[in-house]
A and B are shown apart, each in its own frame.
Chain A
């Protein structure tokens, strides 16, 4: 090394404890009703509470009307009109009196008045029921939209250390499926309310009709309840096994499909078929067990209401004879049976949904509470309008976890507008250096300076505005080419984007596309070649106009013509910018002002290309290997593999 800078002797920042990212994957219990959690979900509904109140009021009125419809049939039609018993002590909620009054007012037969009443009530039920559902769903949908938005916004600003460890698929599930599960839960709770309101209205009327019969019928409720309990107990394990066997099936198939050529080349068809049949059979067995259980449970539940009918007839027969009940009263009970049992059965079903949703809720809140983030300065330093571009690493040591060191006391500085090429074997820490510079990770040991300002005193967002990064894998967002250059930044005009594309040689191929800059790109950019993607990446960075450029050069095979365009584009991109290059192409390295050779996180050599060649160290060995082996026929001695 040409220059050594004393390592950072300043106070060490306290080490953060290592987080257990596996927690993010863990299957959460979800078996306990967690009211805290429920309450927290409900906070997202608070802004829409007005809708909820309206919805509640509507369902109350609608349920009441639904109960009255049955009273019209049993009390008005049967008791008053048919049996002619208007003075029974049974409750009619004033409907008989109303009928009598309407008869007198309009001079219509009682039967037509009853029909008219029924018509009005059924219309109220339909209309208000509809409004009730609309207002309820509106509130829920909006609340969950907000929750999802908050979740996304939260995840969007998690640091790289989070995304390194947690697979995208896991995070995705939170944003999509888990929020869906909460919808099921809230909607379920809503419909429970919609069912329980008529339950209580009906129950009140039944109690005022016959306390004894009502209580006898209510004895059936715990039967449904315990059936549901046993079903839940038995089904939980069975359902889990079904889920496992299904995912086993899918996983096996997916793998075999993806590796079909390997399967065929290895002549594994018969063996794999047998293995698949085995999983398939296991799945069938599990499914059968679940079918046995669910069919009996379902049929049992819808039989209980009918058993209730038998009880009503038996008990009602006795009471009517003793004039304790009217015939209409008995009919009223039979008509109420569904109102009594539907909510109880529904409650059982909803419990399952609720438990499932609990697990989802837990996962969502775990993500929302995941406070891992880059340490931002409490007193941010002010940056000049335009940085000169001096970058200095001083005594930088870093490891992704506590027990591994990726960088060891790295010190190097780059003067404004100069180019530094970093070379070294895999795992030498090249990428880590640029990640630290981009403020993707906190680094407790050592310092980095931008124009003499401690990087840790600059908010990460500002750092990233000043440093343009071209990563090896150019990520394409679906949208047009233009969107991908500007990244929807309103400050970057179309003209500026086109200008940038022209400068880095991307303009030509973009113009050749049928829709030019507005050509849509699909995810992962399948419709672009590697070289074109690289050029687009250059254009994207150039349009953002950062003072410092970081390039992780792509290694993919690119045809010679495109290669020329890329090299030329890169030259123009680096023009006037301090550039740090993780270089793979010799030309790029040769054109850098300095070369730094990293090995196992330590700076092994530093200097100009010529100087390092002359020095005859690691750089020289690597360099010569390439040339020597191509011009003579001697097999290179080679370094130890890896």
Chain B
């Protein structure tokens, strides 16, 4: 992510920036307004300087009692100056506004596209580009593009118009003086570029040491109990000083380079002024130039040098925006992970009979398959328990049932139809899946439980809460079902979260219910209570649940034992115990007190 190494803006930058063209093209009229506006604004700016020069010459003429330039009275010149200023104000503000609006509109469009793109993505995509990374893209990268458009276009305008007007005006007054100043331009340009790279590098350093500082603080504060429990405060404060000081040094270094730039650029500019004073002064003495012209030259010089001062800034901006565009396009261009192509063969209502045939799955980038050659079937209405160690492929298997993941080899059939011939919407609305990680939105409890249908009646939500043994908990909150959860609301315990997501799954009363280890933080008695209710509620409907507790699994009709992505055993609790294999071993360990699961609800 070499944001700052943007010295060479070769083809890749061009290619990346070309991707922006269609976005900007949508607002082409605004862009035209901007360019025309700036052109006129520049014209009136030069006119202002010219007016001042005329005024000075007019004053000189008055003193010498000579005829006024172009026969203009002083007040006429002043009216000219003021009108030029007013016109410039109108055009420049209109033009700036136009570009900035385009910037905002494009970022609006980019945001829309980004959100639409991520909605069709699956675990492989999110595994590759994490949530934090995506947020950075949505915030930082879009804002880079927005700034490139809003301010970059202005830079282009400055780079084109300023020398154009500056040069024209100067050449118009004195060719030789203009030529004398010219050699300074490349020197300034290369210097500015050199400083820009240095600045970019040091700002990278500052960024890095700042994030180190933030990380250090965050880490320390999250572990403050450990620090204090071990009486390590003094040490930690010393350790912090190192990071703190490092940041201060990096910051100083950046400021130093910045200041150097601030010092040198005006010095080099002054060098050009020096040329105007000495050589231009001579021209005035010989009568080739007027005093006003000399002042006009000094003003135009500023205009000529404007783009050079901005060059470094501009280069950095383009380089960073290029990276931003590439990172955004990576998201836009990613093909949807799961292709939704229903064929119409699927039954209108899912029954819930699954057949896995030689099913294998390997996560992208992984060497070892997560699932290997699975062959089994689940009858409609059956309740299935799945057990296995961490990493044995339980969650992966469940995700295949709702096509959150898609098989590499083999097939999954649902009610006799290959699962990829179902519409995703049907599959996911008729199969309720509760994930292992209990995720809640920062919304009221009721909205979290009835997430699939925000319009659902409140008493249905209470029923689901009942089934998930959540009622008592909700009743303890003053606002009950309207209680906001998450950062801005109440913080639920792990068990409460799990039961809320469980209610979210149960409320749909779907033909198939899939529970991925969602009792791990619920205490045994509550789990017992929920399971017995579940048995009644789910009679005749397919239920698949993952658990590592034998006490949970024994409630199911059939248990599948996974190990290293392979199906090792399957059968009823009693049959598997009789078989004396992995499951029996697990049962032995758990009953003999290796794990008590005494009351593991974490707070």
Question: How far is B57's CA from A313's CA once the two chains are assembled, in angstroms?
Answer: 10
B230 close to chain A: CB less than 8 A: yes
B70 CB–A CB distance under 8 Å? no
Q: A157-B233, A313-B55 are in contact. List 5 more A-B contacts (CB 8 A).
A: A156-B236, A266-B451, A489-B235, A563-B594, A586-B594
- Kindly provide the distance from the CB of A614 to the nearest chain B CB, expressed in whole angstroms: 18
Which segment of B190-198, B255-263, B355-363, B408-416 sits at the interface?
B255-263
CB distance from B272 to the nearest CB of A (A): 11
1/0 contact string of B140-180 vs chain A (CB within 8 Å): 00000000000000000000000000000000000000000
Assuming the contacts A261-B404, A265-B428, asked whether A145 and B219 have C-beta atoms less than 8 A apart, the reply is no
Task: Indicate with 1 or 0, residue by residue over A133-166, a CB within 8 angstroms of chain B CB atoms.
Answer: 1100110011011001100110111001001000
Q: Does A32 contact B (CB under 8 A)?
A: no
For residue A523, CB closer than 8 A to chain B, the reply is yes
Question: In the complex, what residues of B have CB within 8 A of residue A629's CB?
Answer: 528, 551
11 A-B residue pairings within 8 Å (CB atoms) = A122-B270, A149-B241, A160-B225, A172-B218, A253-B138, A264-B428, A313-B58, A477-B223, A584-B598, A630-B591, A642-B523
Q: Give me the 6 closest cross-chain CB pairs, A-B, nearest first.
A: A313-B55, A475-B223, A586-B596, A586-B593, A122-B270, A555-B600
**Interface segment, B277-285, B345-353, B365-373?**
B277-285
Cβ-defined contact, A642 with B255, below 8 A: no
Among A138, A183, A257, A626, find the residue whose CB has the most chain B CB atoms closer than 10 A: A257
Contacting residue for B435 out of A83, A261, A268, CB 8 A: A261
B contact residues around A472 at 8 Å (CB): 602
- Among A78, A167, A425, A544, point to the contact of B599 (Cβ < 8 A): A425
Residues of chain B within 8 A of A627, CB atoms compared: 591
Does any Cβ of B come within 8 Å of A37's Cβ? Answer: no
Please indicate the chain B residues that have their CB under 8 angstroms from the CB of A596 in the complex: none
- Contact of B404 with A292 in the complex, beta carbons under 8 Å: no
Q: Is A114 an interface residue when CB atoms closer than 8 A count as contact?
A: yes
CB-CB < 8 A to A3: which residues of B?
A: none
Q: Quick one: which of A615-632 are within 8 Å of B by CB?
A: 622, 625-627, 629-631
Q: Which residues of A contact B263 (CB under 8 A)?
A: 126-127, 129-130, 133
The verdict on B460 contacting chain A, using a C-beta distance below 8 Å, is no
Residue B459 interfacial (CB < 8 Å): no
Q: Once the chains are docked, how many angstroms separate the CA of A341 from the CA of B108? A: 37
Q: Is the CB of B104 within 8 A of A291?
A: yes
Q: Looking at chain B's contact residues, is the secondary structure mostly helix, strand, loop, or mixed?
A: helix
**B220 interface hit (Cβ, 8 Å):** yes
The one of B78, B228, B295, B389 that contacts A464, using a Cβ cutoff of 8 Å: B228
> Which of A295, A431, A560, A641 is close to B526, meaning CB atoms less than 8 Å apart?
A641
Chain B stretch 234-292: residues in CB contact (< 8 A) with chain A: 235-237, 239-241, 244-245, 247-248, 251-252, 255-256, 259-260, 262-264, 266-267, 270-271, 273-274, 277-278, 281-282, 284-285, 291
CA distance A540 to B55 in the complex (A): 82
Contact B75 A314 (CB under 8 A): yes
Alpha-carbon separation in the docked complex, A327 to B298 (Å): 16
* Cβ B214 vs Cβ A152 within 8 A: no
For the complex, give the distance between the alpha carbons of A610 and B140 in Å: 63
Partner of B85, one of A250, A267, A303, A584: A303
Q: Digit string of B72-108 for contact with A (CB within 8 Å is 1, else 0)?
A: 0011011001101110110011001100110011001
B28 to chain A, nearest CB (A): 18
A residues in contact with B439, CB < 8 Å: 258-259, 261-262
B595 CB–A CB distance under 8 Å: yes
Q: How large is the interface on B (under 10, 10 to 19, 20 to 34, 35 or more residues)?
A: 35 or more
Q: Scan A629-642; emit 1 where CB is below 8 A from any B CB, else 0.
A: 11101011011111
In Å, the complex CA distance between A426 and B441 comes to: 25
- Of the candidates A129, A145, A440, A477, which one forms a contact with B262 in the assembled complex, judged by CB atoms under 8 Å apart? A129
Task: Chain B residues near A625: list those with CB within 8 A.
Answer: 524-525
Interchain CB contact under 8 A, A260 and B252: no
> Contact at A303–B58, with CB atoms within 8 Å?
no
Please measure, in the bound complex, the distance between the C-alpha atom of A555 and the C-alpha atom of B523, giving whole angstroms. 11
Let me know if A299 and B63 touch, CB within 8 A: no
Cβ of B84: which chain A residues have Cβ within 8 Å of it? 306
Shortest Cβ distance from B119 into A: residue? A269
With contacts A271-B454, A287-B104, A314-B75 known, is A249 near B111, CB below 8 A? yes
| Contact status of A82 and B603, CB under 8 A, knowing A291-B104, A487-B235, A642-B526 | no
Main secondary structure of the interface of A (DSSP, over half): helix
Which of chain A's residues have a CB closer than 8 A to the CB of B245? 145
Q: Point out the residue from B74, B236, B255, B593 that lies within 8 Å of A141, measured CB to CB.
A: B255
Report the minimum CB–CB distance from B599 to chain A (whole Å): 5
Quote the shortest CB–CB distance from B283 to chain A (angstroms): 10
What residues of B have a CB within 8 angstroms of the CB of A307 in the complex?
82, 85
Verify B255–A137 contact, CB threshold 8 A: yes
The CA of A395 and the CA of B415, in the complex, are separated in Å by 65
> Is the pair A426, B603 in contact by a Cβ cutoff of 8 Å?
yes
Instruction: Confirm or deny: B131 has a beta carbon within 8 angstroms of a beta carbon on chain A.
Output: yes
Complex formed: what's the CA distance from A523 to B83 in Å? 63
Verify if A69 is at the interface (C-beta below 8 Å from B).
yes
The verdict on A309 contacting chain B, using a C-beta distance below 8 Å, is yes
In this assembly, does B429 line the interface, its C-beta being within 8 Å of a C-beta of chain A? yes
Contact yes or no, A292 B97, CB < 8 A: yes
Which of A274-282, A379-387, A443-451 is the interface stretch? A274-282
In the bound complex, how far is the Cα of B123 from the Cα of A488, in angstroms? Answer: 39
Alpha-carbon distance between A57 and B12 when the two chains are bound, in angstroms: 49
Contact A122 to B244, CB < 8 A, known contacts A426-B493, A631-B591: no
**Neighbouring B residues of A320 by C-beta, 8 Å:** 59, 62-63
A152-B244, A630-B587 as given contacts; A259 in contact with B441, CB under 8 Å: yes
Given A126-B267, A291-B100, the answer on whether A487 and B230 have CB atoms closer than 8 Å is yes
B433 at the interface (CB under 8 A from A): yes
CA distance A115 to B93 in the complex (A): 39
State which of A114, A176, A311, A630 has its C-beta within 8 Å of the C-beta of B217: A176
**Bound complex: CA A320 to CA B428 (Å):** 87
Q: Is the CB of A73 within 8 A of B277?
A: yes
B593, A153: Cβ atoms closer than 8 Å:
no
Residue B221, interface by CB 8 Å = yes
For B214, list chain A residues within 8 Å (CB). 172, 176
Q: A78-B291, A426-B523, A478-B219 in contact; A641/B281 too (CB < 8 A)?
A: no
Contact A313 B56 (CB under 8 A): yes
Residue of B nearest to A127 (CB): B263
Residues A156 and B526 in contact in the complex (CB < 8 Å), given A126-B267, A255-B442: no
Give the complex CA separation of A461 and B291 in angstroms.
79
In angstroms, Cα B255 to Cα A273, docked, is: 44
Expressed in whole angstroms, the Cα–Cα distance for A448 and B97 within the complex equals 70
Closest chain B residue, CB of each to CB of A157? B233
Please, which residues of chain A bring their CB within 8 A of the CB of B432? 265
- Cross-chain contact B104 with A288 (CB below 8 angstroms): yes
Least CB distance from B77 to A in Å reads 6
Roughly how many angstroms separate A284 CA and B105 CA in the complex, as a whole number? 7
Q: Are the C-beta atoms of A626 and B524 separated by less than 8 Å?
A: yes
B88 A630 Cβ-Cβ under 8 A:
no
Residue of B nearest to A478 (CB): B219
The verdict on A123 contacting B267 (CB below 8 Å), with A172-B214, A477-B219, A630-B590 known, is yes
* Cβ-defined contact, B596 with A589, below 8 A: yes
B274 and A288 contact, CB distance less than 8 A:
no
Contacts A299-B96, A636-B528 given; indicate if A156 touches B227 (C-beta within 8 A): yes
Q: Does A353 contact B (CB under 8 A)?
A: no
Residue of A nearest to B473 (CB): A642
Indicate if the CB atoms of B528 and A280 lie closer than 8 Å.
no
**Cα–Cα distance between A127 and B233 once the two chains are bound (Å):** 45
Query: Is B529 within 8 A of A638, CB to CB?
Result: yes
A477–B224 alpha-carbon span in the complex (Å):
11
| CB neighbours of A183 from chain B (8 A) | 251
CB-contact partner of A114 in B111, B135, B281, B504, under 8 A: B281
Question: A282-318 interface mask toward B, CB cutoff 8 Å, 1 = contact, 0 = none?
Answer: 0110011001100110111001001101110110111
**Chain A residues near B239 (CB-CB < 8 A):** 488
**B138 x A250 contact (CB < 8 A):** yes
A257 near B134 with CB under 8 A, answer yes
Say if the beta carbon of A201 comes within 8 Å of chain B.
no
